[in-house]
């Protein structure tokens, strides 16, 4: 017996989770399953939801961030995933995300990009941002103290403050580097900092004699360095399970607004977004199978589709079931509709060897130059062709074969497995995953009704 | 692999391919020329030798953020250090294994988290064995204690010969005090009780299998714990499988090796594994699938054996070993059979914890899905945190506090759930759940037995939902 569901989503990153949630919302009684292998790129991502930060094709370092991403979407090339699903779908997907995220995210009040300071002291144009970063927006003119820690060298607060000022931020910024109470080793994990604050563990405080709660100890460490600034920015380590409580405690003790500065990977705001999505999946009744890969598939046997269709060579095949590998045991999983959301080169949805670039499960067509030396340009900061590798879908997001026909009638693709966009250069990663995940999931749900 | 050389940061503009050798990962290539070689961005077939395995690491730290020990104890340097960094150091010169490897609980979460398939737990297991072999005195208290804990199976037969005496002696506070003082076994925990009749004794008394069926056969790997301590779990497995018409075989077997890996006793584990692979391969030859009721046993046979040993048939045994519920889900219409069944009040509300070792096998969602099919059961998942005990880990006095800190989240969620009964598939998680909450803890197979048994008693064999069990034999009567 195969494990049987109505919609099967393969891949549990932002695109797959969104697709599963959208399918669950479209069909009340359908059974939705999400199968995912390793952990997704959400854990590396900043937790910001970028729709479009920079126009593609402008690789110049001096390029200007896009103020209104929706207007800019219209001028994207026809093949861009945003154009495939249409601008309205992008708006619908963002609204869908706002509903799921509730008050954990901000930015829905405007179409315009917000400017969020990042750990390097640059500002990032983004459409939605975690509430923990909300008090730190660069468009806000309150003076700012940035606090870094000796044990977290990725965030050099004085340098970040200098960068912000040099970039013309409309406020005074100052940075200090302190030592984090309760952290001994210099490579403690971000989860360790968060756990200390979440549980308000007892720690030794240098300023006070004896032990206090970690939140109070941290505030006491920062307080003497606070001048007139009305907001204080910390690296994004302020709690994992209870971030709002941690921020509130710090803010009360400091008498200033508190915000987080998104960090490089591994990223707690990314982890929190992952938790938020997986909680939503559980509430929506989506069944999640994780830790095992989909490795193969079978199409519906030709003779079961009737004599007429067997004669017709051009009939689009349908997937009957896929095979999940569990340490060598082959477990069939069957569904009516499938969504492929296995990610790009980073998520391992798209693979490559010396000869060719492929999509790993269904071998969907991935256009690429035959000469591998054309996959790159010499200028490492130039637009890299390989960054755009991925499957090419029709408007329903069904991957197309070399003949421009859908590869399978019941397979749709979403997220970084899609080609023809460069999320890193144009800052569109989460937005494309949301929009295409939303459309692929909705269509899959509709198709199995 | 490809991403190993791909810079992973969110800094604009985009990731650039490395020019090769920049991070030392290509240091054993034959020439010193660092001419731009774009192809190095993409993977090459790598054979599974540990040191090259370290090169797959692209330092994303996903493993570190999944490590329950590093989250509560910053003395522990984390899996990225334990695994790839340590093995990289070893390649450069003959570095000693860092003693912090003994603080790893072998929960294997890092292993299944790594997006680049770095064989982390294989590295930890090998490092631990090397550390114990080369750096730990064979006369130290720690070594003796670990050897004892790892070889629980050798003591258990003695205890189970005189179970009542053993239970009393183990429960005495003086025994516990002695345990802590002389051996470093925490006095905070209650020793598990020994069953008055082991599963194998029961099986022999019963006359072995009650169902014979050439076409549907399983070989039951019961492991130590359900033989000596929770024999009701093992009996439940037999009854559930016989309900579906399976012939159950109970081959000779040794410990799965899990506690030995975790204590760096790789030679002990090898001996045990050799017996198991031989016996289980013979059963597979006879047409049986291997079924385990303990998630760590199945994990060990499926993943750790092929990673660490190469006996003939290791791979065959791994590929034919299944979790007890998973096998039924795939080979029978389990949810169909459970429809319209009900269980008594003792199981109406359950707080379920998925053991790390079942999570790592992709089985974490399964129990709730199966429980949902039974009328009147409200099973609630208490979240994805680690229970903290990890086999023998939480028994050691020096780890007790860490173990309880890790478990805190699970205890809180259990307290918040409606249920007063816990549910899990791992015997040591079960101890931790009971220790932290005082709840009674059941195994999923016990609930299935209650559901399927109740149904059969009412409707008689072969009728109703039993139809799809094929040749259900109505021989099971006790
Ligand atoms: C370092 C980094 C930083 C980023 N920063 C930002 C940012 O600041 N803002 C932003 O908007 N976006 C950012 N992104 C992009 C964004 O987070 C995601 O990469 C993008 O949304 C793609 O998501 P996805 O769901 O398509 O794929 P992924 O997140 O790659 O998920 C794919 C999933 O599929 C699973 N999978 C793969 N193969 C199989 C298989 N055979 N069977 C089952 N499962 C499989 C994988 O294990 C993985 O869990 C960043 C990405 C990276 C890598
Ligand atoms: S998760 Fe894998 S690739 Fe990432 S740091 Fe750990 S071992 Fe390296
Ligand atoms: S096995 Fe568990 S405890 Fe050990 S390093 Fe990995 S995640 Fe941490």
A329 contacts B38? CB cut-off 8 A: no
Confidence at residue A58, expressed as pLDDT on a 0 to 100 scale = 60
Q: What is the mean pLDDT of chain B?
A: 79
CA distance B88 to B201: 50
CA distance B2 to chain A (A): 8
Whether B40 has its CB under 8 Å from any CB of chain A: the answer is: no
Domains along chain A with CATH numbers: 3-102+270-448 (3.50.50.60), 119-261 (3.40.50)
pLDDT at B154 (0 to 100): 63
Exposure letters B351-388 (e unless 16+ CB within 10 A, then b): bbbbbbbbbbbbbbbbbbbbbebbeebebbbbbbbbbb
**What is the predicted pLDDT for the residue at A314?**
58
Across the interface, do B319 and A327 touch by the CB < 8 Å criterion? yes
Residue-level pLDDT at B10: 36
Distance B327 CA to ligand 2 centre (A): 32
Q: What distance in Å separates the CA atoms of residue B250 and residue B273, rounded to the nearest whole number?
A: 16
Q: Which of A317, A334, A418 is nearest to A7 (CA)?
A: A334
**How far is A303 from B86, CA to CA, in rounded Å?**
56
Dihedral sign computed on CA atoms, order A229, A234, A240, A246: negative
Q: Do B25 and B52 touch, CB atoms closer than 8 A? A: no
User: For B416-455, how does the pLDDT look when each residue is reduced to its tens digit (9 = 90+)?
Assistant: 988 889 999 998 899 899 898 999 999 999 999 999 984 4
pLDDT at B47: 31
User: Which residues from chain B sit within 8 angstroms of residue A354, using beta carbons?
Assistant: 39, 42
Q: Per the structure block, which two tokens stand in for B268?
A: 């002990």
The larger pLDDT score, comparing residue A141 to residue B454, is at A141
Q: Is the pLDDT of residue A222 over 90?
A: yes
How many C-beta neighbours within 10 Å does residue A86 have? 14
- 8 A C-beta contact, residue A375 and residue A368: yes
- CB–CB of B290/B321 below 8 Å? yes
Q: Write the ipTM.
A: 0.84
3-class secondary-structure state, position A444: helix
B366 lines ligand 3 (CB under 6 A): no
Q: Report which listed range, A308-312, B3-7, B108-112, is most confident.
A: B108-112
Query: Cα(B70)–Cα(A240) distance, rounded to whole angstroms?
Result: 14
CA distance B156 to B228: 7
Report, as an integer, the average pLDDT of A84-100. 97
Bigger pLDDT: B6 vs A412: A412
Ligand 1 atom 51 nearest Cα: A45
Backbone angles phi, psi at B397, to 5 degrees: -55, -40
User: In the structure, what pLDDT confidence band is assigned to residue B304 with cuts at 50, 70 and 90?
Assistant: very high
Q: Which of B11, B39, B58, B71 to mutate to test the interface with A (most CBs of A within 10 A)?
A: B71
Percent of chain A topping pLDDT 70: 94
Q: Residue A147, by phi and psi: left (phi above 0), alpha (psi -120 to 50) or beta?
A: beta
Residue B112 has pLDDT above 60, yes or no: yes
Whole-number Cα distances in Å, A326 to A134, B322, B323, B359: 43, 9, 11, 12
- Sheet with B378-381: strands ordered across: B378-381, B349-352, B421-424, B440-443
Note whether B280 contacts A: Cβ–Cβ < 8 A: no
Q: Residue B297, SS3? A: helix
Asked if omega into B380 is within 30° of 0 (cis), the reply is: no
> In the predicted model, is pLDDT for residue A61 greater than 70?
no
Which tens digit of pLDDT belongs to each residue from B238-279? 999 999 999 999 999 999 988 888 888 888 899 999 999 999
CA A323/CA A343 separation, integer angstroms: 19
Q: Average pLDDT of B397-414? A: 90
CB contact under 8 A, A265 and B364: no
- pLDDT of residue B35 exceeding 90, the answer is no
Query: Would the pLDDT of B28 be above 90?
Result: no
CA dist B322 → A399, B291, B354 (Å)? 35, 5, 16
What per-residue confidence (pLDDT) applies to A445? 96
**A349 Cα to the center of ligand 1, angstroms:** 9
d(CA A364, CA A353): 16
Identify the pLDDT of residue B43: 35
Q: Is the pLDDT of residue B44 over 50?
A: no
Residue B287 — very low, low, confident or very high, per pLDDT cuts 50/70/90? very high
DSSP-based helix, strand, coil % in chain A, nearest 5: 35, 20, 45
Residue the block writes with tokens 């569904």? A335
Chain B closest CA to A45's CA: distance in Å?
Answer: 7
Average pLDDT over residues A56-77: 80
Q: Tell me what the mean pLDDT of segment B231-241 comes to.
A: 96
CA separation (Å) from A449 to A321, A337, B101? 18, 10, 53
Instruction: Write out the DSSP string of A30-81.
Output: --EEEEE-S--GGGTS-S-B-S-SS-TT---TTPPPPS-HHHHHTTS-TTSH
DSSP B187: S
pLDDT value of position A196: 94
| Residue A347 Cα distances to A158, A352, B75, B260, angstroms | 34, 13, 31, 34
Q: Please, where are the H alpha helices in B286-399?
A: 295-299, 305-308, 314-319, 324-331, 334-338, 356-359, 366-372
Q: Which of A224-228, B179-183, B313-317, B442-446 has the lowest mean pLDDT?
A: B179-183
Q: Do B445 and B236 touch, CB atoms closer than 8 A?
A: yes
Per residue in B340-366, pLDDT (tens digit) is 888 888 888 999 999 999 988 889 889
**Model pLDDT for residues B331-346, shown as the tens digit of each residue:** 999 989 998 888 888 8
The rounded percent of chain B whose pLDDT value lies above 90 is: 39
Going by pLDDT thresholds of 50, 70 and 90, the confidence category of residue B33 is: very low
pLDDT band at A44 (very low <50, low <70, confident <90, very high): confident
As a whole number of angstroms, the distance between CA A356 and CA A371 comes to: 9
pLDDT tier at B11, thresholds 50, 70, 90:
very low
Say how many CB pairs under 8 Å bridge A and B.
177
| Ligand 3 contacts CB of residue B114 (under 6 A) | no
Does residue A343 contact residue A413 with C-beta atoms inside 8 Å?
A: no
Ligand 1 cavity residues, CB under 6 Å: A 10-16, 35-42, 44-46, 48-50, 265, 293-294, 341-343, 346-349, 360-361, 415-416, 423, 429-430, 433; B 8, 10
| C-alpha triplet A99, A428, A96: angle, nearest 5° | 15
* Interface touch A266/B38, C-beta < 8 Å: no
pLDDT beyond 60 at A190: yes
Q: Is the pLDDT of residue B57 over 70?
A: yes
Our measurement of the distance from residue A40's CA atom to the centroid of its chain's CA atoms, rounded to an integer in Å, reads 8
Task: State the pTM of this model.
Answer: 0.86
Distance, in Å, from the CA atom of B115 to the CA atom of B111, rounded to the nearest integer, reads: 9
Bridge partners (DSSP) of residue B26 are: none
Q: Quick check: A325 pLDDT over 50? A: yes
Q: Say how many Å lie between the CA of residue B52 and the centre of ligand 2.
A: 14
Alpha-carbon gap, residue A154 to A265, rounded angstroms: 10
- B72, B109, B393: which to mutate for ligand 3, most atoms within 8 A of CB? B109
Cβ under 8 Å to A: B residues 58-97: 60-62, 64-67, 70-75, 77-78, 81
In the predicted model, what is the mean pLDDT of residues A147-165? 94
Q: What is the DSSP letter of B191?
A: P
Of A163 and B141, the one with more pLDDT: A163
pLDDT the model gives residue B238: 96
pLDDT, tens digit, for every residue of A404-423?
A: 999 999 999 999 999 989 88
- Confidence (pLDDT) at A312: 47
Distance CA B451, CA B371 (A): 10
- Cis-peptide, bond into residue B13, ω within 30° of zero: yes
Residue pLDDT, tens place only, B120-164: 988 998 888 888 888 888 778 788 777 777 776 666 565 555 566
A170-174, B3-7, B148-152: lowest mean pLDDT where? Answer: B3-7
Residue B289 has pLDDT above 90, yes or no: yes
The per-residue pLDDT for B148 is 73
% residues pLDDT > 70 (chain B): 77
Residue A51 clears pLDDT 60, i.e. is over it:
yes
- Is the model more confident about A24 or about A300? A24
Q: Provide the pLDDT for residue A328.
A: 80
CB A272 within 8 A of CB A244: no
Q: What are phi and psi of A337, to 5 degrees?
A: -130, 145
Helices B141-150 and B152-161 cross at an angle (nearest 10°) of 70
Residues in chain B: 478
What does the pLDDT read at residue B131? 87
pLDDT of residue A89: 96
Q: Average pLDDT, stretch A51-57?
A: 85
SS3 A399: strand
Q: How far is CA B339 from the centre of its chain?
A: 29
Phi, psi of A311 (to 5 degrees): -75, -25
Strands A287-290 and A32-36: parallel
Asked if residue A272 lies in contact with residue A47, where contact means CB atoms within 8 angstroms, the answer is yes
Best mutation target, A36, A188, A382, to test chain B (most B CBs within 10 A): A188
Segment B34-42 long-range contacts (CB within 8 Å, at least 24 positions apart): B36/A378, B38/A372, B38/A373, B38/A375, B38/A376, B39/A354, B39/A372, B40/B5, B41/A376, B41/A386, B41/B2, B41/B5, B41/B6, B41/B17, B42/A352, B42/A353, B42/A354, B42/B2
Given a cut of 80, whether residue B463 has pLDDT beyond it is: no
Query: What residue in B sits closest to A381 (Cα-Cα)?
Result: B13
Give B31's pLDDT tier (boundaries 50, 70, 90).
very low
pLDDT at B190: 74
Per-residue model confidence (pLDDT) at position B155: 61
Burial of B163 (0-12, 13-18, 19+ CB in 10 A): middle
* pLDDT reading at B466 higher than 70: no
| pLDDT confidence bin for B167, thresholds 50/70/90 | low
CB hemisphere CA count around B429 (13 angstroms)? 27
pLDDT band of B467, cuts 50, 70, 90: very low
Q: Among A286-300, B36-50, B237-251, which stretch is predicted with the lowest mean pLDDT?
A: B36-50
**For residue B317, is pLDDT > 60?**
yes
Q: Give the pLDDT confidence score for residue B174 in this predicted structure.
A: 53
The residues, ordered by sequence, that sit 6+ positions from B138 with a Cβ below 8 Å of its Cβ are none
pLDDT at A70: 93
pLDDT in tens, A250-261: 999 999 999 999
Task: State the ligand closest to the CA atom of B7.
Answer: 1
Ligand nearest to the backbone CA of A262? 1
Across A135-143, average pLDDT: 95
Handedness of CA A203, A208, A212, A214 (dihedral sign): negative
pLDDT digits (tens, 9 = 90+) for B369-396: 999 999 889 899 998 889 888 877 877 8
């Amino acid at each position: 017996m195969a494990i049987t569901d109505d919609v099967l989503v393969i891949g549990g990153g932002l695109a797959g989770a969104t697709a599963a949630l959208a399918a669950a919302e479209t069909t009340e009684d359908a059974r939705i399953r999400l199968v995912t292998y390793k952990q997704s790129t959400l854990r590396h991502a900043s937790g910001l939801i970028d729709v479009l930060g920079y126009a593609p094709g402008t690789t110049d370092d001096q390029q200007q961030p896009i103020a209104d991403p929706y207007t800019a979407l219209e001028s994207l090339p026809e093949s861009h995933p945003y154009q495939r699903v249409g601008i309205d779908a992008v708006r619908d997907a963002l609204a869908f995300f706002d509903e799921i995220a509730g008050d954990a995210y901000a930015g829905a009040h405007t179409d315009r990009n917000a400017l969020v300071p990042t750990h390097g002291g640059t500002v990032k144009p983004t459409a939605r941002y975690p509430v923990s970063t909300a008090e730190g927006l660069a468009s806000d003119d309150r003076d700012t103290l940035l606090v870094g820690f000796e044990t977290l060298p990725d965030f050099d607060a004085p340098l970040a403050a200098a960068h912000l000022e040099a970039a013309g931020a409309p406020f005074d910024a100052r940075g200090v580097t302190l030592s984090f109470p309760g952290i001994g080793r210099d490579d403690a994990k971000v989860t360790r900092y968060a756990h200390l604050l979440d549980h308000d563990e007892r720690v030794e405080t240098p300023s006070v004699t004896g032990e206090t709660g970690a939140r109070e100890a941290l505030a006491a460490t920062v307080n003497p360095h606070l001048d007139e600034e009305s907001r204080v920015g910390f690296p994004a380590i302020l709690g994992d399970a209870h971030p709002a409580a941690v921020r509130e405690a710090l803010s009360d003790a400091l008498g200033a607004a508190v915000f987080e500065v998104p960090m490089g990977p591994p990223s707690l705001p990314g982890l929190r977004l992952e938790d938020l999505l997986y909680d939503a999946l559980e509430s929506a009744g989506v069944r999640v199978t994780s830790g095992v890969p989909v490795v193969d598939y079978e199409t519906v046997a030709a003779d079961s589709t009737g004599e007429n269709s067997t004669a017709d060579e051009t009939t689009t095949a349908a997937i009957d079931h896929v095979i999940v590998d569990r340490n060598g045991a082959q477990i069939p999983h069957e569904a009516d509709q499938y969504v492929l959301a296995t990610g790009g080169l980073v998520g391992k949805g798209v693979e490559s060897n010396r000869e060719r670039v492929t999509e790993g499960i269904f071998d969907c067509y991935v256009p690429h130059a035959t000469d591998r030396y054309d996959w790159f340009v010499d200028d490492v900061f130039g637009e890299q062709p390989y960054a755009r590798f991925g499957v090419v879908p029709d408007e329903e997001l069904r991957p197309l074969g070399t003949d421009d026909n859908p590869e399978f009638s019941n397979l749709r693709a979403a997220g970084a497995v899609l080609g023809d966009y460069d999320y890193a250069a144009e800052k569109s990663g989460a937005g494309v995953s949301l929009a295409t995940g939303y459309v692929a999931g909705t269509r899959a749900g509709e198709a199995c009704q | 692999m490809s991403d190993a050389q791909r810079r992973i940061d969110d800094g604009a503009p985009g990731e650039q391919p490395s020019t090769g050798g920049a991070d030392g990962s290509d240091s054993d290539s034959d020439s010193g020329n660092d001419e731009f070689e774009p192809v190095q961005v993409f993977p090459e077939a790598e054979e599974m030798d540990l040191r090259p395995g370290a090169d797959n690491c692209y330092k994303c730290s996903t493993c570190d953020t999944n490590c329950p020990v590093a989250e509560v104890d910053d003395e522990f340097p984390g899996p990225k250090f334990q695994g790839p960094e340590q093995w990289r150091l070893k390649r450069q010169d003959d570095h000693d294994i860092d003693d912090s490897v003994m603080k790893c609980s072998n929960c294997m979460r890092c292993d299944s988290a790594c997006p680049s398939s770095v064989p982390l737990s294989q590295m930890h297991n090998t490092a631990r064995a090397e550390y114990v072999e080369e750096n730990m005195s064979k006369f130290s208290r720690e070594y003796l204690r670990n050897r004892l804990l790892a070889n629980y199976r050798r003591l258990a037969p003695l205890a189970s010969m005189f179970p009542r005496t053993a239970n009393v002696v183990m429960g005495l506070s003086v025994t516990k005090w002695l345990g802590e003082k002389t051996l470093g076994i925490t006095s905070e925990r209650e020793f598990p009780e020994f069953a008055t009749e082991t599963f194998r004794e029961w099986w022999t008394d019963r006359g072995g299998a009650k169902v014979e069926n050439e076409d549907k056969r399983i070989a039951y790997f019961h492991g130590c714990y359900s033989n000596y301590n929770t024999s009701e779990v093992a009996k439940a497995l037999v009854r559930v499988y016989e309900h579906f018409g399976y012939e159950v075989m109970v081959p000779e077997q040794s410990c799965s090796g899990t506690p030995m890996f975790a204590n760096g006793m790789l030679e002990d584990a090898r001996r045990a594994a050799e017996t198991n692979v031989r016996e289980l391969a013979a059963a597979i030859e006879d047409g049986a699938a291997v079924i385990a009721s303990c998630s760590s046993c199945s994990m060990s046979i499926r993943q750790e054996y092929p990673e660490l040993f190469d006996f003939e048939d290791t791979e065959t045994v791994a590929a034919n070993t299944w979790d007890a519920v998973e096998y039924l889900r795939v080979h029978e219409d389990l949810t169909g059979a459970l429809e319209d069944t009900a269980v008594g009040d003792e199981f109406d509300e359950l707080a379920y914890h998925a053991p790390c070792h079942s999570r790592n096998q992709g089985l974490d969602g399964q129990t709730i899905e199966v429980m949902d099919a039974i009328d009147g059961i409200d099973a609630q998942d208490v979240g994805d945190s680690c229970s903290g005990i990890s086999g023998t880990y939480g028994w050691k006095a020096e780890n007790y506090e860490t173990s309880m800190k890790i478990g805190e989240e699970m205890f809180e969620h259990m307290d918040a759930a409606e249920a007063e009964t816990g549910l899990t598939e791992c015997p040591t998680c079960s101890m931790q759940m009971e220790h932290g909450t005082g709840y009674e803890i059941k195994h999923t197979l016990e609930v299935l037995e209650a559901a399927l048994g109740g149904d059969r008693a009412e409707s008689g064999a072969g009728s109703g939902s039993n139809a799809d069990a094929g040749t259900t034999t109505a021989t099971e009567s006790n």
